[in-house]
A and B are shown apart, each in its own frame.
Chain A
Amino acid sequence: MTPGRGFEERAVREEEVLDRIDEYRRRARTLLREERITMAHGAGGKATHTLVEALFLEAFRNPLLEPMEDQAVFALAGNRLAMTTDSFVVSPLFFPGGNIGDLAVNGTVNDLAVSGARPLYLTAGFILEEGFATADLQRIAASMARAAAAAGVQIVTGDTKVVERGKADGCFISTSGIGVFERDVKLGAPEVRAGDAILVSGPIGDHGITIMLARGELELVSDITSDTAPLHGLVDALFGATKAVHAMRDATRGGVATVLNEIAAAAGVVMVVDESAVPVRDEVRGACEILGIDPLYAACEGRLVAFVNGEAAESALRAMQAHPLGEGAAIIGTVLAAPRGLVLLKTQFGGTRIVDMLVGDPLPRIC
């Protein structure tokens, strides 16, 4: 016998089944069945998508919202602007490599930067729990100011609310941001096409694993730190090398796998990823092995995934690697036409499998 491929004999039936799964995956997301919000609705996986699409998109539907990108892009008084919003409920508030403050600023800056816009102004809303230490709030505000200065943005308006003890967890931050397009680019999932290369800007999963360990429930010790960082400079470097960028996302909650799935579904393409090309730090891999987490789903707060015309991939990669925040950048896969909507993985071991959207397992609050 030749060493073979598991299911070939029953290929016909299996494909029927794959079609069925495929069809269900597309359909299920718009059906909200739960009577109450569960933690799964906040995990960034399928349940989150179902909630957003079935409830919020239905309620607010408009052409700017419908593309379901991380920011809305619109023209105003002759300028093209990008607008975004984000909320932060990370626990613990302070963690190796950052705190909720710089996380909030960087997260908002990144949602603007990956659209191709230059981030300009941010807002910050604080929901504080009665009894929260003012010294901690001072530290948070100071790091927000530093992060804003580093990203070249200003926090121009804000709001403060205090709730009774037990009604919040220390400090929650809600932000919004506005950026302006200074270059003539149109990025977004629909621009991604077969032949594109998939790049990530550095090792993945640092933030997610840092938070898991910082919670101290696992009694694992490591010196990994969060990768929280503003990505506008890296985006500039990338555009300096090539105009053939089709889409970018920062891989936050749900990790790189979620970004790939969202874009595969929205663009009607298939992503083929080579697991051995995906950069992951040894410490992160080790923690993931112990915790049973796939690093592809682990959150980053300073990494972007870029879809670049295959021919420009090498120059895009070199440009990223030349930037301090892109030193560990890598080409991790390619975009193909079919079977659309799926993310496929060539495993490090030499096998093949699908990488699906995360099913909402209750994960700790990571952002």
Chain B
Amino acid sequence: MRFVDEFRDRKIARELGVQIARLARPDRAYRFMEVCGGHTHTIYKHGIEDYLPPNITLVHGPGCPVCVIPMGRVDDAIFIARQPGVILTCFGDMMRVPGGCGSFLDASAAGADIRMVYSPLDALKIAQRNPERRVVFFAIGFETTAPSTALTLLKAAQDGVDNFSVFCNHVTIVPAIKAILDSPDLRLDGFLGPGHVSAVIGCRPYQFIAEHFQRPVVVAGFEPLDILESVRLLLEQIEQGRCEVENQYTRVVPWEGNPKALAVIRETMELRPYFEWRGLGFISQSALKLREPFSRLDAERIFRLPGVRVADPKACQCGEVLKGVLKPWECKVFGTACTPETPIGTCMVSSEGACAAYYNYGRFHRESVAEAVR
């Protein structure tokens, strides 16, 4: 199939694997963080680690928007969903995220009207079709999805839809990366930069990583060969003593990003002073809220939210997983108390979450299956 198969070619993968093995020095270890959950998903789904030498470790980063939603925000959303006449709309992977008192799926079973949509514009359509109901869109995601929320807000304002509002949980990636770089318990040798976020914000915002923190960054695409090539580019930088922001995903990411997308975000949203990230705690200037002119579309102003902060379950080590300090399976509750059906931590929920990716796609028992695979 065109535009898919050419990025999954085994032959090229093997060549890249050989090049990577040649570049990696046997006397040291390499730890590269893939910031984006989409990368984590690709890495596990296609079994990319099978192409890497054992001294290269891919560390999973915080770039899964579902994973970083604190429990209190889920509870707030369920509170909204329980108000009379409300239809809460959200993306499918929010449905199983546990809050302090259950998930959207549970709330829906208990009578709340919660519907899955594929785009915020679909939520707006539901509002237009149901003028007697109040339709709230649970907005989530990094700069990748913020433009579509922004456009929906503009359209709602323009069309004068007054039964529609947005519960804004958009976050921004750069403060999270900075928080990780500031964390003392982590040693990283480079970053695979988030491809789709960069399609919006461009590559420039990562320059502080190369300049201030002296770590190379390669903005990477989401197909398996993209990941392998990006790993090779990181190794090349290290080998040649360079430390730069490079763009592997040139077919999608312009260096300057997407000015139109940035403009609509800027028009409708502004930075919050601080926002809680699941597992990472409060990070300043790391999330977006609606600007004053859009307050009529802001669920946080329309509904009197409880806004209760719910502490993460003690046993859950999502924070360490999100920061890349722990591999998913090193978490105490991984695979025992915390599974995709009964997740304790958010990393076990989204298909982009490191724990869910690892649990669902796992690895083979090497010895017993090695022969079979051959």
Residues of A within 8 A of B (CB): 1-9, 11, 13-15, 17-18, 20-21, 24, 28, 33-40, 46-47, 50, 217-218, 270, 272, 282, 285-286, 289, 292, 294, 334, 336, 338-339, 344, 346-354, 356, 359-362
Do residues A38 and B51 form an inter-chain contact, with CB atoms below 8 A? no
User: In the assembly, what is the distance between CA of A1 and CA of B49, in Å?
Assistant: 15
Do residues B54 and A344 form an inter-chain contact, with CB atoms below 8 A? no
User: In the assembly, what is the distance between CA of A20 and CA of B333, in Å?
Assistant: 10
Q: In the complex, which of the residues B55, B361, B363 has the most CB atoms of chain A within 10 Å of its own CB atom?
A: B363
User: In the assembly, what is the distance between CA of A33 and CA of B93, in Å?
Assistant: 21
Q: Does B45 contact A (CB under 8 A)?
A: yes
Do residues B342 and A33 form an inter-chain contact, with CB atoms below 8 A? yes
User: In the assembly, what is the distance between CA of A39 and CA of B54, in Å?
Assistant: 42
**Which residues in window 20-70 of B have CB below 8 A to A?**
20-22, 24-26, 44-55
Which of B8-16, B135-143, B176-184, B311-319 is the interface stretch?
A: B8-16
Q: Number of B residues whose C-beta is below 8 Å from A?
A: 62
A-B contact count (CB 8 A): 175
* Nearest CB of chain A from residue B32's CB, rounded to whole Å: 13
User: In the assembly, what is the distance between CA of A246 and CA of B339, in Å?
Assistant: 33
* Nearest CB of chain A from residue B256's CB, rounded to whole Å: 27
Contact of A39 among B18, B26, B105 (CB under 8 A): B105
A363 nearest in chain B by CB position = B92
* Nearest CB of chain B from residue A339's CB, rounded to whole Å: 5
Do residues A353 and B362 form an inter-chain contact, with CB atoms below 8 A? yes
* A21-B92 contact in complex given A5-B366, A14-B363, C-beta closer than 8 Å: no
User: In the assembly, what is the distance between CA of A292 and CA of B8, in Å?
Assistant: 16
Interface string of B114-155 (1 = CB under 8 A from A): 001110001000000000000000000000000000000000
Do residues A28 and B342 form an inter-chain contact, with CB atoms below 8 A? yes
Interface string of B345-371 (1 = CB under 8 A from A): 000000100001001111111101100
Do residues B92 and A350 form an inter-chain contact, with CB atoms below 8 A? no
Do residues B363 and A350 form an inter-chain contact, with CB atoms below 8 A? no
A335 nearest in chain B by CB position = B372
Do residues B368 and A338 form an inter-chain contact, with CB atoms below 8 A? yes
Do residues B53 and A18 form an inter-chain contact, with CB atoms below 8 A? no
Do residues A347 and B20 form an inter-chain contact, with CB atoms below 8 A? no
Residues of chain B with a CB closer than 8 A to A348's CB: 8, 10, 46
Q: Does B239 contact A (CB under 8 A)?
A: no
* Nearest CB of chain A from residue B331's CB, rounded to whole Å: 10
Do residues A353 and B47 form an inter-chain contact, with CB atoms below 8 A? yes
Interface string of B323-343 (1 = CB under 8 A from A): 000000100001110011110
User: In the assembly, what is the distance between CA of A148 and CA of B335, in Å?
Assistant: 46
Q: List 20 additional contacts besides A21-B335, A38-B106; criterion CB under 8 Å.
A: A1-B55, A6-B50, A6-B54, A7-B49, A7-B363, A11-B366, A17-B329, A21-B359, A28-B339, A37-B109, A47-B341, A286-B1, A292-B351, A336-B372, A350-B47, A351-B50, A353-B44, A353-B364, A361-B93, A361-B96
